[in-house]
Amino acid sequence: MSENKSSEYIIPEHQLTPDEMKQFLWGAATRLRGQIDATGYKEYIFPLLFFKRISDVYDEQFQGYVAEGGEEYANMQVEDFTIKIPDKAHWRDVRAVTENVGQRLVEAFIAIEQANPGVRTDGRVVGGLEGIFGPKDIWTNKNKMPDHIITSLIEDFSRYNLSIASCPADEMGQAYEYLVGKFADDAGNTAQEFYTNRTVVSLMAEILRPKPGESIYDPTCGSGGMLVKCLDYLREKGEAWQSVKLFGQEINALTSSIARMNLYLNGVEDFSIVREDTLKHPAFVDGSHLRTFDVVLANPPYSIKAWDRDAFANDKWGRNILGTPPQSKADYAFIQHIIASINPEGGRATVLLPHGVLTRITEKSIRQNLIKLDVLEAVISIGKNLFFNSPMEACILVFSTKKSANRKDRVIFINATDLVARKNTESFITPEQISFIKNLFYNYGNVQGRSAVVENSVIASKNYSLGTKLYVKRIISGSCANYAESINNWHSASDAMNKSFNVLFDQLNIV
């Protein structure tokens, strides 16, 4: 790179507080209202945020070397910077342009991506900026994004210093996650594809208890929030979060780019995010087998119908260990992928899924094989309204490849459906509720109305149903004279209905 001229680019001295950062970012996004639909905000704001951040960090590093040994010395060090910015591809270069701003921005994006390839190591590509800025044609469509709108956005971002000293990685990561959540909220029904309620993810991380140096994998990583929450778990405990290795796969190109930006902005360098269909083309393999990880967590797309069931039935990676799921619901295909991805020597996983996976008749034989495999450690039912524009209940399945002696051939069922708080239109699990649920899991006992440790043989006697309410009995106030009799009658009727359905499905050859 030629001589750095960072002195020409004046960075404001004001240091943003976390709240100011959030307000500023959302304020920049709202400038797009009326110009594009809310679902498209993320396509513009995230790339600009990332571009501004890496430009300011580049200047910060350069000035540090200038202070250490002068400008000539600093110019000698730029090739070793974490992210390289080529000539004429810096934020200040684009800011100086007054015409065809979108085209100039695209040229800068492409130059930066090409100057920062990923590093192939350990059978994977680590880091790298290839494609990270997302689709480029959106910036050159002047009808949709005229020069004056792009210029206004650039000036909004130019008001503040986004260097590491001014905005440390953890604060930048929090602001980024805030923005992801705001975009999801504003986008409505499309939010689910890339955003999972972060309080639910916090619960999943608390149960997994990731450790320094472990490998962590999300096979449907969306915007990377689950991976970040594992980092937050370690950060909050003062442990070495920098030593973990993060892996993710995401089918959507833009969303996978958002995940990569998220990890970079959280200060992570050792990560691999691959854009690909997890069921069709798993990205992380070791010879003829899937690569395995110490920690896996995921929120797979719910009950998708458009997937290659025939290929999974004869899966060359050996994932179809429990049975082929029905075409109409791929949930257990993702579950089997996750089980096959857990380190056999003490790996663990949490998976967020629709409640139907616990009881659907067409998947009974798969649940039977799951229980026989004895890797299911817990079923946690969580409450309604924790997902954007959906009142559905969900569940968290906890898996472990090395159950402790007292947990072998058993599953703990936890009923947390009522442990939901609500403020305005937002539902969430409070820190106190997260702690309570986590303690139920780790204390591993029977708590009336809350938890039950159930032997696998008992689950078998219940036709392999994993419905939490079947095992965790509600506390009923008032008269209960006929309660036991009513429950027995309900079970008898339910068993009879299930047998009738099974006969019908066999006759119709429905899978």
Same domain, 229 and 133: no
* pLDDT over threshold 60, residue 481: no
Q: What is the pLDDT of residues 41-74, one digit of tens each?
A: 889 999 999 999 999 999 999 999 999 999 999 9
Contact 266, 173 (CB under 8 A): yes
Half-sphere exposure (Cβ direction) of 182: Cα atoms closer than 13 Å: 19
Q: What is the mean pLDDT of residues 151-180?
A: 86
DSSP 393: -
153 and 263 together in one domain: no
Q: 110 and 242, same structural domain?
A: no
Q: Are residues 39 and 90 in the same domain?
A: yes
Domain presence at residue 299:
yes
Q: What's the domain count of the chain?
A: 2
Give per-residue pLDDT as tens, 298-351. Answer: 999 888 999 999 999 999 999 999 999 999 999 999 999 999 999 999 999 999
Helices (H), 247-342: 253-265, 309-313, 331-340
φ, ψ at 352 (rounded to 5°):
-95, 125
Shared domain check, 281 and 416: yes
Residue 171 CB contacts under 8 Å (≥ 6 apart), including other chains: 18, 21
Spatial contact of 438 and 203, defined as CB atoms under 8 Å apart: yes
Q: How many CA atoms lie within 13 A of 153 on its CB side?
A: 29
CA 448 to chain centre: 33
Say if 485 falls within a structural domain.
no
CATH of residue 373: 3.40.50.150
Q: What is the DSSP string of 191-229?
A: GGGT---HHHHHHHHHHH---TT-EEEETT-TTSHHHHH
Residue 484 DSSP one-character state:
H
Element housing 178 (H / E): helix 169-187
Separation of alpha carbons 440 and 414, rounded Å = 7
Q: Which residue has the tokens 């043989």?
A: 457
State pLDDT tens for residues 182-210.
777 665 544 444 467 889 999 999 999 99
Q: Are 342 and 349 in contact (CB under 8 A)?
A: yes
What is the pLDDT at residue 41? Answer: 86
Cβ atoms of residues 309 and 324 within 8 Å? yes
Domain match, 334 and 408 both: yes
The torsion angles phi and psi of 275, rounded to 5 degrees, stand at -90, 110
Average pLDDT of the segment spanning 176-184: 79
> In DSSP terms, which residues pair with 248 in a beta bridge?
218, 273
Residue 350 lies in a domain: yes
Which residue is associated with the tokens 């979108």? 102
Could you write out the DSSP letters of every residue in 491-509?
A: HHHHHHHHHHHHHHHHHHT
Give the CA angle between residues 163, 169, 170 to the nearest 5°.
Answer: 140
Read off the DSSP letter of residue 87: T
Q: What share of the chain is helix, strand, coil (3-state, %, to 5)?
A: 45, 15, 40
Residue 488 has pLDDT above 80, yes or no: no
* Percent above pLDDT 90 for the chain: 62
Residue 316 lies in a domain: yes
Domain-terminating residue out of 107, 137, 164: 164
Does residue 247 lie in a domain region?
yes
* Co-location of 371 and 460 in the same domain: yes
- What sign does the dihedral 214-218-219-224 (CA atoms) show? negative
Structural tokens at position 76? 């000698």
Domain containing residue 46:
6-164
Domain identity same for 287 and 423: yes
- pLDDT > 60? residue 7: no
H/E stretch holding 353 reads strand 348-354
Q: What is the pLDDT of residue 172?
A: 83
Write the CB contacts of 287 (distance below 8 Å, at least 6 apart in sequence). Answer: none
Q: Is residue 371 a part of any domain in this protein?
A: yes
Same domain for 82 and 213, yes or no, is: no
Q: What's 70's domain CATH number?
A: 1.20.1260.30
pTM as predicted: 0.84
Segment (H or E) for 101 = helix 101-115
End-to-end CA distance of the chain: 61
**Inter-residue contact 260 to 296 (CB < 8 Å):** no
Which pLDDT value is given to residue 79?
87
Report, as an integer, the average pLDDT of 448-452. 96
- Sign of the C-alpha dihedral computed for residues 80, 81, 82 and 87 taken in this order: negative
Indicate if 319 and 364 belong to the same structural domain. yes
DSSP bridge partners of 413: 379, 452
Pairing between strand 348-354 and 394-400?
A: antiparallel
Same domain, yes or no: 139 and 223: no
Three-state SS for 245?
strand
Residue 444 lies in a domain: yes
Inside any domain, residue 71: yes
pLDDT in tens, 65-123: 999 999 999 999 998 898 999 999 999 999 999 999 999 999 999 999 999 999 888 77
Cα angle value 435/337/456 (rounded, 5°)? 60
Is the domain of 209 the same as that of 155? Answer: no
